[in-house]
Amino acid sequence: MCGVLRASDAGKKAVLMGWVNRRRDHGHLLFIDLRDRTGVTQVVFNTDRDAAVHEKAESLRNEYVIAVTGTVKLRDANTINPNMPSGEVELVAEELRILNESKLPPFLPGDTALTHEETRLKHRYIDLRRDVMQFNIETRHKVAKAIRDYLSAQGFFEIETPFMTRSTPEGARDYLVPSRVQPGTFYALPQSPQMFKQILMISGFDKYFQIVRCFRDEDLRADRQPEFTQIDLEMSYPQPDSVWGVVEGFLRAAFAAAGYEINPPFPRMDYDEAIRLYGIDKPDLRLPPFTDVRECLAAENVQELAINPNLPVIAIRIPKVGDLSRKERDDIKPMFHSKGGARVFEDFKRIANRYAATAEAVAKKLDAGEGDLIVLVAGAAQASCGENGAAFASHRKVTPQELAIYTSAGLLRLALAQKYAERHQCFQKGDFRFLWVTNFPMFEWDEAEQQWMAAHHPFTSPHEQDMKLLAEGVEALHDPLSPLSAVRALAYDVVLNGTELGSGSIRIHRRDVQSRIFRALGMNEEEAKARFGFFLEALDYGTPPHGGIALGLDRMVMILAGAESLREVIPFPKTARAVDLMVDAPTPVSEKQLKELGIAVKKPAGL
RNA sequence: GGGGACGUAGUUCAGUUGGUUAGAACGCUGCCCUGUCACGGCAGAGGCCGCGGGUUCGAGUCCCGUCGUCCCCGCCA
């Protein structure tokens, strides 16, 4: 245990085993920093004490694996190293065994500059020796263990569900596994154990959880891997509150395990409110929300700036950015991506010069301090007001035109917050702002398909009060004005600092409601049976009300570790092209294997 | 599928307007050094400038293609 020796161990005999982290050769005096996962301790080899051992130590090189027997010695006051936890002591070597030599690694775990990620991934076993990676993986273990312990104590059973299961094409693409026994047929790796955990509720395991791998064959991002780990749970007879309580409980335990105290319950916010205040369904609460400053603008302002008077005028405020140069102000405009009819007024100074009174009113309403950055986003006066606008408004609180402004402003808010993070200082490590976002819409309008789609998944229960709207809307799948637009789902997301940590819902437990939802999604009874027959059948046999949630473990650990990418908290991750650079997967397989599976591969041109 | 950034020594990087023999630091090898801890000193080795083609008297540098890594959009019920 190279990192655990302290002053209190002085005088003891010790055997340390580990890697040579660094070597400092002073001729007759040789220092080796010996490293294992607990840390580093200095070992001293001295010709005065034992010339033979010292000579053997001369041959040591970086990353050799050695065992050293010696005596723990308190260092002289002037040789104490306050920068390392074991810096008050050192091991005086009496015996050295070289357990294994090492080739010169492409990079050293103790290097200060970080090597290009491609090299790190190819030699991941060396990269994982770095103390940051050791810490991240340890954090991951502690978090997972805390969650297991907490949920077990709450009466949850951890139950495994199959990895080789049935493809139910909808949503993400499946990873497929060909069957040899039945050529031409395929298993699918689960995108989530959704239907299995619901069936476990039907089976009477009324509190289930699983820390489980999920698979989605979609393009990767810094926060998206093709295989990832979810904390999946489901319980019978819950209200949303009871699920939230469980999640808040295990998150408190998990964060405590990583050394952070958080204080549930978390605040809650309607989906519509999140859109209106933050322009996004996963608000980052560390920065101020929008303010609608339409009322601060005089009629002539609206006229001259070509602003649509019937739509909100959003003021984005980023605190303490300080004065921006002309160029910095000009740089804001390209960061703005209009989602349709939204315009940005990035130069508040110019507005202040032209309309002093208006600017003052806006600043006052925002309660803006000295140096706060203010950017306005409004609807363009001549923007084509969707002819459906008025009708939409009757169903939903936020119209599509308003949504365009809110989401455009929301994206700009995040981009500005990121860009000026060092100035506003609102992104401090250890500042965790959780939020429950609730009452999502049940359906989303798909412009391409010209129909309503499930916003969450088709097993999500609608609000009891909205069942009537559902009944009315069920035959109006292709009508953008359908009452379906106003149906709210008993769905909820847990959000942390602008990241969606998890998503869940109260499920449908009644077969008739489930059928109606499938019908509302344009699936007739036969189609529904073909895809989910086993599940629909199960619903017929006394299904208790149930609900649950799934949280991304990787994302949680990433935030706890202060990492920028999931790859920093996954031991063996994949690159943007879904390749494992260390084992070099995926690969072609032999003709023999393919033949057994009854698979013929169309070779890409050029091979 | 689309947009952007990058690719030079084992590693991190520099390389001017296209111009002689492509540099630095760390690491590596050898020698020296008894209190360093990112030890120090001296000497040395180490390069298909990602790959292929083109322009040019001349290409690390310009152009086209290609491969790889990263970031973003689409996508992720």
Residue A142 reports pLDDT greater than 70: yes
> CA of A582 and C1' of B60: distance in angstroms?
30
Residue A380: per-residue pLDDT: 83
Closest-lying nucleotide for A457 based on CA to C1' = B77
Residue A387 reports pLDDT greater than 60: no
- Say if residues A24 and A62 touch (Cβ distance below 8 Å): no
Closest CA-bearing residue to C1' of B7 = A116
**A281 secondary structure, DSSP code:** S
Q: Phi/psi of residue A301, each to 5°?
A: -60, -50
Question: In terms of pLDDT, which residue wins out, A221 or A341?
Answer: A221
Residue A606: per-residue pLDDT: 45
Closest CA-bearing residue to C1' of B12 = A113
Q: Which of A448, A529, A457, A518 is nearest to A490 (CA)?
A: A457
Closest-lying nucleotide for A117 based on CA to C1' = B69
Residue A335: per-residue pLDDT: 80
Q: Phi/psi of residue A431, each to 5°?
A: -95, 105
Q: For A126-148, what is the mean pLDDT? A: 96
Q: Phi/psi of residue A416, each to 5°?
A: -70, -40
Taking only the tens place, the pLDDT of each residue in A539-582 is 999 999 999 999 999 999 999 999 999 999 999 999 999 999 99
Q: For A117-125, what is the mean pLDDT? A: 95
Q: Which of A182, A185, A180 is nearest to A592 (CA)?
A: A180
Token representation of residue A528: 């529904």
Closest-lying nucleotide for A172 based on CA to C1' = B76
> CA of A291 and C1' of B5: distance in angstroms?
35
> CA of A83 and C1' of B35: distance in angstroms?
16
The pTM of the full predicted model, rounded to 2 decimals, is 0.92
- Say if residues A338 and A311 touch (Cβ distance below 8 Å): no
> CA of A301 and C1' of B8: distance in angstroms?
56
Mean pLDDT over each residue of chain A, to the nearest integer: 91
Query: Which of these ranges, A11-20, A237-246, A377-386, has the smallest mean pLDDT?
Result: A377-386
Q: For A62-84, what is the mean pLDDT? A: 95
Residues ≥6 apart with Cβ < 8 Å to A287: A318, A319, A413, A417, A424, A426
> CA of A419 and C1' of B70: distance in angstroms?
19
Q: For A352-366, what is the mean pLDDT? A: 91
Residue A520: per-residue pLDDT: 85
Taking only the tens place, the pLDDT of each residue in A8-19 is 999 999 999 999
**A460 secondary structure, DSSP code:** B
**A394 secondary structure, DSSP code:** H
Find where tokens 């709210």 sit: A488
> CA of A61 and C1' of B35: distance in angstroms?
21
Taking only the tens place, the pLDDT of each residue in A181-220 is 999 999 999 999 999 999 999 999 999 999 999 999 999 9
Taking only the tens place, the pLDDT of each residue in A284-326 is 999 999 999 999 998 888 888 889 888 899 999 999 888 888 7
Confidence grade of residue A393 (pLDDT, cut at 50, 70, 90): very low
Which nucleotides of chain B are near protein (any atom < 7 Å from a CB)? Answer: 1, 10-13, 26-29, 32-40, 68-77
Residue A91 reports pLDDT greater than 50: yes
Q: How many CB atoms lie within 10 A of CB A292?
A: 17
Residue A605 reports pLDDT greater than 80: no
> CA of A391 and C1' of B29: distance in angstroms?
80
Q: Which of A525, A499, A505, A391 is nearest to A441 (CA)?
A: A505
Closest-lying nucleotide for A110 based on CA to C1' = B38
Secondary structure class of A162 (helix, strand, coil) = coil
Helices (H), A380-510: 389-395, 400-419, 421-424, 467-473
Confidence grade of residue A382 (pLDDT, cut at 50, 70, 90): low
Taking only the tens place, the pLDDT of each residue in A397-435 is 788 788 888 988 998 898 888 888 888 888 888 899 999
Token representation of residue A436: 């429950």
Polymer length of chain A: 607
Residue A603: per-residue pLDDT: 66
- Say if residues A539 and A510 touch (Cβ distance below 8 Å): yes
Q: How far is it, in rounded angstroms, from Cα A85 to Cα A35?
A: 13
Strands A207-215 and A157-158: parallel
Residue A383: per-residue pLDDT: 53
- Say if residues A188 and A175 touch (Cβ distance below 8 Å): yes
Confidence grade of residue A392 (pLDDT, cut at 50, 70, 90): very low
ipTM attached to this prediction: 0.93
